[in-house]
Structure 1
């Protein structure tokens, strides 16, 4: 059994805490309020997975917290630092223009996703939806966004022309997200590097990060029968699978994450969801999680939700969460022998989204 050393017992610094790498084939819920050290601690675990497993990771990163996962900091463990520095870690950016860009292909999206991007309802917009349904089959020469809309405009079919006007009016194909012949995120993920970080935070249109996330999750689900294991790490997961949707794209995202949570495990699609509060996550996703990392949490409602969902955790251990200092956590579930209060270890790699310091002095 491969053991991941993530820190030490909170009350005994000489006694290390280990997680079982094999049990990351169960969904994991990671939570802690702002300032608890949640993102830093998650980085400790991701580093250990890089060092001791061959499990590929897909990291959906809305705040650029993991965009420096390939950069090591000064550490006494030079062997571990060298191993991570030589790992195959790909970072696809939306916040830095001088680095490989996060892109996806509009034409590769499933029909329902395309319709959601174009704000088409199959009932209320039945005619246009039907045109979209059949357009891919009839516009055989359209190989990218530019030729697609050109073909729609040039068609004698009034429905094609109406769909082209909708696309132009929404300015959807002007988004920076689209590949336009470049490498798409799904191409990179299919190569299964040790880690693929998708920097979601730099897009201009608020729908772009959600469409980017939807495109990769739909792709993984479409190819689930290949049974190629991957750990899907969703930081700030309330942006991806909240309890209720505010748009058609968000509803598709919720539905897909719920389906992966319910059925993905047997196909090797395993979730690690990180957020500030359990009540901000769709309950059908939270209920499928077997592993728990809890950091400081003050809200009684949130602790009650965790007690109800993770009934295997003793109440008195959950109740200590409001007293946790930064970097302290409770681990429980299948990936640890027994519920354990932990002081997290130190990072080997740089953290991309550290807090901004208060300016002091004159």
Structure 2
């Protein structure tokens, strides 16, 4: 049976009024949101489309809509610059060669796994589009951190983009250790040759995670000591003058020096420092190298193991020092990817301590203005509501793993309006390791089964002990 221009009306038939969107209807075994299809139109023109929405009846009839991605041909491959309206076209599934053509034309080289709809087709991201902020979200148990490791490995292999990784749970501290199953592949060898620094609080120089107090901006020093420049102006002024000699003082000498001054403000500042036990923190560099000095040398990856500090404020001091230093040097326009795992620890809207506020405000500023200076964020968290809205709204890329909360999905749909609603709705049914990628860093919104990591995973779930029978 044939229809217009010899196009068969059996199976699925599509039409497009504007050459950008299409609608389809007919009989087929299955068609899913996110699926890549071929639209065989009049004159032998073949266009590539992506299904956005599908409805079906119990009789097997399907009806839905999608968007046209471009034109494909044997001579030119895939061309995303052109698309055409048509009255009727036969719609068929795209094969792996078509998807590979899309990847090749867009420069997608980061292989992160396979298409959820077809395990034989590799899924790839565009490395050059990590020059936009990325939001990575998935509830506990979704495989979020493992999947993030896969992407970071691919960036290490295929790009020269330095990254600094804020790692609160020691999930990436083994990033330079090749997993036993990775063998001696070229990819594993590439990672082994990268300059990856793992900085821990307890490590000796040169791998210590430490901050030099005198290098902090004055506002940051005040935040460490919970001082406001106006409300605590006498103590703050004492701190300003103390800075003139701090460079020659060890932490143990600061309080005695203040007490020697004998002024009420100096005595109050000394009491504040003793009460906060700031001089007992292991974060201070002393004669050791500061984390900002190490990051400034631009290793391929610098992992900051934030979970090893006794006082939670110490990890905030590290974050503040690194972010402030990157921002202060922004005019150098040296690109760097700032990866913040469990980003709610640093970006939550409800945290109001002076250190939390200082760190969050700097991240808000980087989110709003850092992109043009080469300061690009990748924020990973469990729920969008746990991240300040001014930060999420600046993200152009999204990776979504299993998410069952309707409120969270509604919020994501509002913020990331370019993601097809039917694809977002698949998230509650994702298995561990399945994800939706959308935004500039993927040729088209894609549902993916994440591949295997090449390096060893730092953190893992603790198993329930089982008794021997």
Q: TM-score, normalised by structure 1?
A: 0.95
Q: Is the 8 A contact 1:231 1:270 kept in 2?
A: yes
Partner of 1:214 in structure 2? 320
Matched, 1:205 2:314: no
Structure-2 residue corresponding to 1:80 = 187
State the distance in 2 between where 1:108 and 1:96 align.
21
Higher strand share: 2
Deviation at residue 123 of structure 1 after TM alignment: 3.0
How do residues 108-127 of structure 1 correspond to structure 2 at under 5 angstroms?
Answer: 108-127=215-234
Q: What residue in structure 2 maps to residue 133 of structure 1?
A: 240
2:339 aligned counterpart, secondary structure: strand
Separation (CA, whole Å) in 2 of partners of 1:240 and 1:285: 11
Alignment pair present for 1:313 and 2:419: yes
Gaps in structure 2 of 5+ consecutive residues: 1-106
Mark the CA change 1:6 to 1:188 in structure 2 (over 3 Å): closer, same or farther.
Answer: same
Check conservation: 2:206, 2:289, Cα contact below 8 A: no
Aligned equivalent of 1:3: 109
- Confirm or deny that 1:32 pairs with 2:141: no
Q: Which moved more, 1:145-154 or 1:249-258?
A: 145-154
Conservation of the 8 A alpha-carbon contact between 1:89 and 1:194: yes
After alignment, is 294-303 or 217-226 more displaced? 217-226
Q: Displacement of 1:146 after TM fit? A: 4.4
Equivalent residue for 1:20, pick from 126, 136, 142: 126
Structure 1 residue 29: deviation in Å? 0.2
Q: Choose 237-246 or 322-331, whichever is displaced more.
A: 237-246
Aligned to 2:83: none
Please name the residue that 2:407 is paired with.
301
Which range is displaced more, 254-263 or 127-136? 127-136
Q: Normalising by the residue count of structure 2, what TM-score does the alignment of the two structures yield?
A: 0.74
Q: Which residue of 2 aligns with 1:195?
A: 301
Q: Does 1:268 align with 2:378?
A: no
| Root-mean-square deviation over aligned CA pairs | 1.8
Q: Tell me if 1:291 matches 2:397.
A: yes
Displacement after TM superposition at 1:76 (Å): 4.8
Give 1:322 shift: 0.3
Please say if 1:168 is aligned against 2:280. no
1:89 is aligned, of 193, 196, 199, to 196
* Segment of structure 1 superposing worse, 16-25 or 1-10: 1-10
Rg comparison, structure with higher value: 2
1:270 aligned counterpart, secondary structure: strand
Relative contact order (alpha carbons < 8 A, sep ≥ 6): 1 or 2 greater? Answer: 1
**1:50-104: per-residue Cα shift (whole Å, max 9, x none)?**
0000000000000000000000112156221121112100000137679932111
Is 2:196–2:300's contact at 8 Å kept on the other side of the alignment? yes
